[in-house]
Structure 1
Amino acid sequence: MQDGQTSIPLVSVIIPCYNQAHYLPCAVESVIKQRYNNWECIMVNDGSPDNTELVAKSLIDKYPKNQILLINQSNQGLAEARNAGIKASKGKYILPLDADDLIHPKMLQKTVSLLESHPEIAIAYTDVRYFGRVNRVVLAGEYDFKRLCFQNHLNYCSLFRRGMWEVTKGYNPNMVWGYEDWDFWISCGEKGYYGKRIPKPLFLYRVKENSMYTNAVEHHNELMAQIALNHPNLYDQPYPQEAKIRDCGSIDTLKTDPLVSVIVPTYNRHDTVKRTLESIATQTYQRIEVVVVNDGGEDVSAIIDAFRDRLQIKYLVHRENRGLAAARNTGIKNATGKYIAYLDDDDIFYSNHIETLIKYLGTNNCKVAYCDAFRAWQEKDNEQYVIKQKDIPYSFDFDPDLILAQNFIPVLCIMHEKSCTDEVGIFDESLTTHEDWELWIRMSRKYHFTHIRKVTCEFTWRTDGTTMSSEKKSDFLRTMGIIFDRYREYSKDNPRILELQRMSKRRLQSGIFKIFYKLFNKTKNLFRSLFLFLI
């Protein structure tokens, strides 16, 4: 026992462990290094198939002066592992800590001081520092229960009063895919308990390629529905209704108009994403959900919250920047709509965009349709970007051969049934550019695309090189080559496609922006103007 430590500890640190024995010593040692000494540490071996029990016992032997305990149980999941540790604990305050994460030496000192001096506060939480694959600090935000119901801004590793856990009956084991901490914080808020932020990054979260968190994001819809079922008095429609429907049938039986899911990836564009969301909020077609995926950028939750009374909106966060393909995929996986549309965080829909597409798709035997878009040329003027002119670079009827040579469908123009991605797959996350084009090619092998000759949206084009840098142009050439090789079976015996591919590559290499050309189409015996290339 350390000097100054009483026989009954004030703080109990609970560390569940499942298949992470190699991380466990670092987590425990981060507790050993605390400047605050009156604690116990309880490791919960949740039926782990690795050597967790052996490692845990070695840590107990290594630090005999500290109150370190081990509980072994069959695998029951993270919620029950935390509950088991808390049930066996003695502390007045509880700190959950996962086996692969760490706490700063001042974590207990600062959080205990806050709760001891403010008896009205039940949860002391801090900012977080990511380490591992990503190294940065993320600010937690001030406590707001209304916001908490839709977005979790508290870290799971927060100090809270044990009595609160007893009143709420602890972590709910029905959160099988994750978010058990979010559900617990909501339970606490529902009972009148609230938290306070300490604006220091005292919690250290290890970012890995795969984790409980990434798994939870993949199952956001199911988990959010379960949270709504767990707290039916807190949520207006559609959350409780959708949750119940998942148990008994299809949501489409309740509404005559199909739901459209708009996927909005965002990354460090808080100055433009508000305009993007405003363009969705003003659509003439109202059956819309918006899935915003923050791809490891600055927090935009305050902007998201401002739209919750006007939009059915989901806000998902990647711990690290994974690229457009991954962000859109996360959006698709969590979309509940029959139809999928896409809008980047610096582009806009005109008010008739969704209505134009949904009317066509809903009345014709077609699963994919696209409109035309203005390109808004922007220049910097007094440190702000302003639109100088607009044009329409792409307005071409669909050609399944032409799509093998060049992408002439901007991503914001298209709408398709979600079932299309069930059939052909989602965006290829190995492609850092041209990921949308590659998906359109896969879709075009199975579905006909209908072109609606109407301008219903607008994308930005900045003339200072931020839109198309030399580095990005080089990557466009690289991914273009990958796509040409990948779908060579469709072009190898087709001179028309091969010539179009050569011209596309030459145009990108030379940097020539405007090219007109005509090709003879033998099947129709006429010359057709194919399209205006512009990158």
Structure 2
Amino acid sequence: MSHIPQTSVPVPPTVVVVIPFYNGAAFIERSVASVFAQSMPASEVIVVNDGSRPEERASLDALAARFPFRILDKENGGQGSARNAGVAASTAEYICFLDQDDFYLSNHIEILVKGIPADDPRLGFVYADLAEADGEGNIIRAAMVKDHTLHHPKTNIFEMLRHDIFVLPSAAIVTRKAFDAVGGFDTQFMGFEDDDLFLRIFRKGFTNHFIDKVVTVWCIHTGSTSFDMRMIRSRFKYFKKLVGMFPDEPKRNRYVLRDCLMPRFGRFFMDHVIEAVKANDPNRAEMSAVLAEYAAIVYASPAVSGRKKLKLRATVFMAEHSPPGLIRAIGKLTRLPGVRSLRRLLG
């Protein structure tokens, strides 16, 4: 009797999909349905209710009757804390995230799993591209990651500091080892928590791999966190965290504040104040305080030239003392939008 050798079939890795939910009944069905339509199914699907209103929470029960996902309830703490809670409640080897108003393409998990290298014990994450869409899911750009960043995978910390990283959790798969090693998302942020996570994973010595395929549709609408004060506050918190993490190293000729953080963040702190002045925004005082604190950090740096400091002082003075009419007049005078023209006027 001849012996026929048996070949083992590789077991696919376990994958959890974590979806933070906060008053998102208008979008969550589309997101959940996309997860359960995957060509390679997830091992676990957890929707984390981050303190939604009772009527919004009730929508999850109705949806769970149709799709077998687990609901995890917690007090409101922001998207980062919701994602952390979902990961902590799961056991899978790999983690995928999905925002409540986005949705996966049907081969999202399969593409990312097949992109996991077989011989990389230090793997941190695999990421792919996204399509940008409006709130209804109508495509605006077919591949937005490559539009924003040219270098993949991520290999240079200074490039990651100088520019938005554009690794989106909804288009990535993260190893549990790497996620746990950095303590998950920093919950102080409600915006920029994604850049912060992947930056810390990179700094911890984990590798990353890029797949040049679109796996997710990222829907942007006026209700997104990108358009509210939380994002503005979080941007400044992230800036200050990076300033603390990367002090100047004169012996290595490395000046992160001057060469990376000021070019990346400074214009936003100025623009927020200028736009607030133009619109008589009630948050003008808070935005002016952010700009003043940013300026104080710049003034204290010996690496920043006196010329740049002088221009910043002029910008701060004008932003704090100019009436809305003057800001609008500058824009009309130069035939440029007020924000851009004021920056050019001040050099």
Does the 8 Å CA contact 1:427/1:435 hold for their aligned counterparts?
Answer: no
Aligned residue among 22, 27, 36 for 1:32: 36
1:192–1:428 distance in 2 versus 1, CA, 3 Å: farther
Query: Does 1:99 find its partner at 2:100?
Result: yes
Residue 213 of structure 2 aligns with an amino acid whose one-letter code is K
Higher fraction of strand: 1
- Distance in 1 of aligned mates of 2:328 and 2:214: 32
- Distance in 2 of aligned mates of 1:429 and 1:97: 40
Which residue in 2 is equivalent to 1:135? 140
Does the 8 Å CA contact 1:127/1:199 hold for their aligned counterparts?
Answer: yes
TM alignment of 1:244-393, pairs within 5 A: 308=260, 312-314=262-264, 329=275, 336-337=294-295, 355=307, 358=310
Does the 8 Å CA contact 1:217/1:316 hold for their aligned counterparts?
Answer: no
Residue 313 of structure 1 aligns with an amino acid whose one-letter code is P
Query: Does 1:51 find its partner at 2:65?
Result: no
- Distance in 1 of aligned mates of 2:199 and 2:24: 28
Residue 79 of structure 1 aligns with an amino acid whose one-letter code is G
Which residue in 1 is equivalent to 2:76? 75
Residue 178 of structure 2 aligns with an amino acid whose one-letter code is M
- Could you tell me which runs of 5 or more consecutive residues in structure 1 were left unpaired when the two chains were aligned: 1-5, 239-288, 291-306, 319-324, 339-353, 362-413, 441-455, 460-535
Residues 87-133 of structure 1, C-alpha deviations (whole Å, 9 max, x = no match): 11121110111111111111100111112535343201111211006
Residue 119 of structure 1 aligns with an amino acid whose one-letter code is D
Aligned residue among 172, 185, 196 for 2:186: 172
Which residue in 2 is equivalent to 1:221? 236
Which residue in 2 is equivalent to 1:113? 114
- Distance in 1 of aligned mates of 2:308 and 2:74: 57
Does the 8 Å CA contact 2:134/2:219 hold for their aligned counterparts?
Answer: yes
Aligned residue among 224, 240, 252 for 1:211: 224
- Distance in 1 of aligned mates of 2:323 and 2:32: 42
Residues 196-217 of structure 1, C-alpha deviations (whole Å, 9 max, x = no match): 1111121211111242234465
1:19–1:164 distance in 2 versus 1, CA, 3 Å: same
Does the 8 Å CA contact 1:19/1:50 hold for their aligned counterparts?
Answer: no
1:57–1:217 distance in 2 versus 1, CA, 3 Å: closer
1:111–1:316 distance in 2 versus 1, CA, 3 Å: farther
Deviation at 1:180, TM superposition (A): 1.5
Instruction: Report the number of matched residues.
Output: 290
- Distance in 2 of aligned mates of 1:29 and 1:70: 15
Higher fraction of helix: 2
TM alignment of 1:82-93, pairs within 5 A: 82-93=83-94
Deviation at 1:153, TM superposition (A): 2.7
Residues 157-189 of structure 1, C-alpha deviations (whole Å, 9 max, x = no match): 2111112122222112222x3212221112211
Deviation at 1:14, TM superposition (A): 0.3
| TM-score when normalising by structure 1 | 0.46
- Could you tell me which runs of 5 or more consecutive residues in structure 2 were left unpaired when the two chains were aligned: 1-10, 250-256, 277-286, 297-305, 339-343
Does the 8 Å CA contact 1:427/1:439 hold for their aligned counterparts?
Answer: no
Deviation at 1:356, TM superposition (A): 11
Does the 8 Å CA contact 1:14/1:42 hold for their aligned counterparts?
Answer: yes
Which residue in 1 is equivalent to 2:314? 416
- Distance in 1 of aligned mates of 2:214 and 2:206: 23
Query: Does 1:123 find its partner at 2:133?
Result: no
Does the 8 Å CA contact 1:103/1:203 hold for their aligned counterparts?
Answer: yes
Residues 30-87 of structure 1, C-alpha deviations (whole Å, 9 max, x = no match): 1111111243210000101253322211222112xx4x10001111221211111001
- Distance in 2 of aligned mates of 1:435 and 1:62: 59
Residue 125 of structure 1 aligns with an amino acid whose one-letter code is Y
Which residue in 1 is equivalent to 2:7? none
Aligned residue among 19, 26, 31 for 1:22: 26
- Distance in 2 of aligned mates of 1:59 and 1:149: 40
Which residue in 2 is equivalent to 1:522? none
Which residue in 2 is equivalent to 1:265? none
Aligned residue among 215, 218, 228 for 1:202: 215
1:439–1:154 distance in 2 versus 1, CA, 3 Å: closer
Residue 55 of structure 1 aligns with an amino acid whose one-letter code is S
- Distance in 1 of aligned mates of 2:100 and 2:266: 24
Does the 8 Å CA contact 2:124/2:202 hold for their aligned counterparts?
Answer: no
Does the 8 Å CA contact 1:79/1:180 hold for their aligned counterparts?
Answer: yes
